[in-house]
Structure 1
Amino acid sequence: MDTMFAIVCKTYEGVKALETYDKEGCIIKSSGLHGLGASIGRTIHDRPHADEFVADDPQRRLDILKPRLPNGESPPGFLGFTVNMIDVESKN
């Protein structure tokens, strides 16, 4: 569970842009999310939060930094992190 990672994309093109592969099927670490992480000195295996929750949020959403491109904008089609897009009934 500690290593689960999910991203929701609005388009299939967004999904294809997340990871690219070489002819042997290995991930190309200089492109997609891997390349973006490297450009800001982080890897996608770094935890984007420190188990902190958004203040006063009844859903207890995780306080996760949104991904940013070098120009400071979120990647096109980025909607949010799956873990924060699930609404849990208060009885649960």
Structure 2
Amino acid sequence: MDKNLGRLFSEYLGMDKMFAIVCKTYEGVKALETYDKEGCIIKSSGYHGLGASIGKTIHDRFLVICLENLRPFAGEFVANDPQRRLDILKPRLPNGESPPNFLGFAVNMIDVERKN
């Protein structure tokens, strides 16, 4: 995949998903917000406290992705592919052809740096 297609894909995902907070555990997710006895967010702790420490107030929702229960892909990978793209069968129309302009699956269009 070329870098321009990667940029287009990231634009399609949108800012909210591109700037999602990723936590390894649910404990990490729970630490992002704490609540008082009335159920109101304590603005001096967690993510809100971090924002306050740099002069930013968190008003909007934020997306959190937790990796704790994610499992690796159980299928095969494309042979000799340094990006280890998933070997997924392309969709087929009733006539046996792939849909016109089918480029591939989104998961295989993300270029991951070798160190990651």
Q: TM-score, normalised by structure 1?
A: 0.44
Aligned identity (percent) is 90
Distance 2:42 2:96 in 1: 23
Name the CA shift for 1:24/1:87 in 2 (closer, same or farther; >3 Å).
farther
Structure 1, gaps ≥5 residues long: none
CA RMSD of aligned residues (A): 17.0
Distance 1:16 1:76 in 2: 45
Please identify the structure whose Cα radius of gyration is greater. 2
Q: Can you list the C-alpha shifts for 1:30-77, whole angstroms capped at 9, x where unaligned? A: 999999999999999999985111111110000000001111111123
Structure 2, gaps ≥5 residues long: 1-14, 61-70
Q: Which moved more, 1:43-52 or 1:73-82?
A: 43-52
Q: Which has the higher contact order (CA 8 A, sep 6+)?
A: 1
Distance 1:77 1:65 in 2: 16
Q: TM-score, normalised by structure 2?
A: 0.36
Contact kept in structure 2, 1:67 and 1:75, CA below 8 Å? yes
SS where residue 78 of structure 1 aligns? coil
Higher helix fraction (1 or 2): 2
Distance 1:73 1:34 in 2: 51
Q: Which runs of 4+ in 1 moved over 4 A?
A: 1-50
Name the CA shift for 1:66/1:40 in 2 (closer, same or farther; >3 Å).
farther
SS where residue 17 of structure 2 aligns? coil
Q: Which moved more, 1:74-83 or 1:34-43?
A: 34-43
